Amino acid sequence: GSGNHWISLLCVGNWSNRSAIGTTVGARAQIGGHPVWQTRQISGQTGYYSQSSMNVNFGLGDASQIDELELRWPSGVVQTLNDLPADQFHTIFEEYAGGAMVTHTGDSGPGSLREAIHIANSDGGPTLIDFAPYLRYQVIYPQSELPALMEDYTTIEGDINGDGAPEVGITSPDTSVYNGLIIESAHNLIHGLVLTNFRGSARADNAILIIGDNAFDNRIYGCYIGCEFNGEIPRGNETGIRIVAGAHDNIIGGSLYGEFNRIAYNSYGVVVNNTEPGTDRNRITHNQITGNSRGIVLANGGNNNIAAPLLTYFDGMILRGSAEPLSTVEIFADPRDQGLSFLAEVQSDGSGNFEYAGPFPEWQFYNATVTDAAGNTSQFSVDMYRQGEVNANHWRVTLVNNGNFAYDLLNGQAGGIYPKSSGSAVIYAGGHYLGTLKNGTPSVSQIQHSSEYVPGRITNPIPAPTDQLTSEHPQLTKHQVYVIDSTRSGADWDNWPVEDGAPVDANGNPLLVSQQDSWTVYNDLFPSFHDGTSDPVLGVEIQRSTYSYTYPGAPSEVFFVKWKII
């Protein structure tokens, strides 16, 4: 290369428009031994959620930094920064003319966060609450709930050095402080905070609560909610972000650099609860949502009760599904059923169909959300678990392809009905505990209401060292509960998975033992599913068969289960 230096700036408006359109950016650098001014203006060719870059780029020749950067925002704010290093991407947020700096971590008095919020609520204009540089990676412990944000246009900026990482913590000291931040007004920005441990005795405890129909056009971005500064150590909240009581048109996350939130290890990640009409059009986008008991919850018709995408086909190379027509589908990878890693956005067509062709990271599950044209975002898709039912005799039993039986996993209901005409459950969940000594230590893989197994077979020869075993991806379309009966016909009969180990007779046809049989295969190779016992994987494959006889008398009163352990 030529050895010339450069710098790329992404300008984000607060009081001005979000894309900073109309902002004039001037840069002074010492190039060739002389001070050189360059000027750029951000044009209005694209918008905030566009796919095109809005970056301002400067060539700097032999200059190793910009000595002075001046931004003239459409709001009239003039902002100056100094000594920006070259050969980097920088994100610059618009400052406000009014502000209140937090200078200590105490809970009250001048310089406290509590006092700064009081100032923002009473100064009659936009307010920037920022933090002194020496508070980087410091934590504030409110002794009671902080005041709600009642006045519009308040920004709380916790990214002290502008590197895109959260750098100020707010943590509940005990169970008496139920909410971290409460937002009851509009046009507020919360950025660069770490919010943890808001988990008291009530299910309504929240790291961030956005409440009421005056709470709109608020943005929560670049925050860690439920984990420490490194993003890994769990310090979960009851709910990460709760949007209720008519709050509408808010944005959680964003597609620009550093705008994703990491929402992890909470009981509930994001809840949109339509406790009062109009809790709609709340966009949840490009975040890292993972490790929560539930990732996104739409309660009581929140976000217009938009349905989650249905993933209908996966063969290892193509993922297909259906969702709200003409909407944006976000594809994620996650160790389980949420969205740790954003993979791509795709658009659903007029019939609601969409397709994603990879890449697909290994040892991950692929999940999706959909956001309609109005801005309503759905819950995560749930597609890996496929259910079947046997009902030939006096039993009606739900079967799941992860080893559960007599439990309707997708609806969270008991699934062992006897007699079937009564509709009464006598088995609420069925499975097995399989244990062994692993390197002298007891180890167990279990199935009850939840399962430490995933669908699919182990692909390499057994026995083999556990760390060398591999399995088919659990989301492959073929991994289902196959049910055949004495008609010896139907899709499951025609597609009987002989190659996966399903039993056959001497003629190579499906082996029918009773009047109605089922078969499925599953394994315990995914470590992220071993949260019930925290034991290591055993490295086992289980082929489960069930038999339902219709002979008069005792056989028709019995439901048989057989496990083949490999």
In three state form, how does the secondary structure of 23-47 look? CEEEEEEEECCEEEEEEEECCCCCC
- With a cut of 60, say whether residue 48 has pLDDT above it: no
Q: Do 339 and 249 fall within a single domain?
A: no
How much is the pLDDT for 314?
A: 92
Q: Same domain for 105 and 169?
A: yes
Task: Please give the residue range of the domain that contains residue 200.
Answer: 99-305
Asked if residue 518 has pLDDT above 90, the reply is: yes
* Same-domain status, 415 and 548: yes
Instruction: Tell whether the torsion through CA atoms of 135, 141, 147 and 152 is positive or negative.
Output: positive
Q: 43 or 359: whose pLDDT is higher? A: 359
Q: Is residue 252 located within the same domain as residue 333?
A: no
Rounded distance, CA 548 to CA 399, Å?
Answer: 13
Residue scoring higher pLDDT (158 or 3): 158
**What does the pLDDT average to over 458-467?**
82
Quote the CA–CA distance of 91 and 13 in Å, as a whole number: 11
Which amino acid makes up residue 532? Answer: G
Average pLDDT value for residue range 318-326: 95
Average pLDDT over residues 147-170: 93
Q: What's the confidence (pLDDT) of residue 408?
A: 86
Q: Are 193 and 227 in contact (CB under 8 A)?
A: no
Considering the chain, what is the average pLDDT of its residues?
90
The pLDDT confidence band at residue 224, using thresholds 50, 70 and 90, is very high
As a whole-number percent, the residues of the chain with pLDDT over 90 amount to: 70
Query: Which tokens is 31 given?
Result: 């190039």
pLDDT of residue 434: 87
Give the chain's length: 566
Radius of gyration of the chain (CA): 28
477-498 confidence digits (pLDDT tens) = 999 999 999 999 999 999 999 9
d(CA 286, CA 263): 11
Residues 392, 523, single domain; the answer is yes
pLDDT at 336: 85
Asked whether residue 75 carries a pLDDT value surpassing 80, the answer given is no
Q: Find the mean pLDDT for residues 86-112.
A: 85
Per-position DSSP letters for 313-365, written without gaps between them? EE-SS-EEEE-STT-EEEEEEESSSSBSEEEEEEE--TTSEEEE-----TT-E
What pLDDT does residue 2 have?
Answer: 63
Mean pLDDT, residues 232-236: 92
Among 252, 271, 305, identify where a domain stops: 305
pLDDT at 444: 84
Which of 74, 91, 80 has the alpha carbon at shortest distance from 22? 74
pLDDT attached to residue 350: 96
The domain boundary, picked from 332, 354, 383, lies at 383
The per-residue pLDDT for 283 is 97
> How many Cβ atoms sit within 10 Å of the Cβ of residue 84?
19
* 119-137 pLDDT tens trace: 999 988 889 999 999 999 9
CATH number at residue 20: 2.60.40
Say which residues have a Cβ less than 8 Å from residue 215's Cβ, sequence separation at least 6: 183, 184, 185, 186, 243, 246, 247, 248, 250
Residue 119 and residue 243 in one domain? yes
pLDDT at 141: 96
Of the residues 305, 338, 367, which one is the last residue of a structural domain?
A: 305
Q: Kindly tell me if the per-residue pLDDT of 294 is higher than 70.
A: yes
Q: What is the CATH number of the domain that holds 373?
A: 2.60.40.10
Is a pLDDT exceeding 60 seen at residue 402?
yes
Percent of residues, the chain, with pLDDT higher than 70:
96
pLDDT of 65 > 90? The answer is yes
Angle, CA of 227, 233 and 238, to the nearest 5°? 40
pLDDT above 60: residue 45: no
Residue 297 reports pLDDT greater than 70: yes
392 in the same domain as 377: no
- Is 83 in the same domain as 29? yes
Mean pLDDT across 193-214: 88
What is the predicted pLDDT for the residue at 534?
65
**pLDDT value of position 533:** 56
Do 264 and 358 lie in one domain? The reply is: no
pLDDT at position 51, please? 42
N- to C-terminal Cα distance for the chain? 57
- Same domain, yes or no: 105 and 246: yes
**Distance from C-alpha of 165 to C-alpha of 101, rounded to nearest angstrom:** 19
Same domain membership, residue 300 and residue 313? no
Best CA proximity match to 209, nearest among 231, 185, 187? 185
Question: Does residue 36 share a domain with residue 164?
Answer: no
Total domains in the fold of the chain:
4
pTM for this prediction: 0.76
Lowest mean pLDDT among 182-186, 485-489, 513-517, 536-540: 536-540
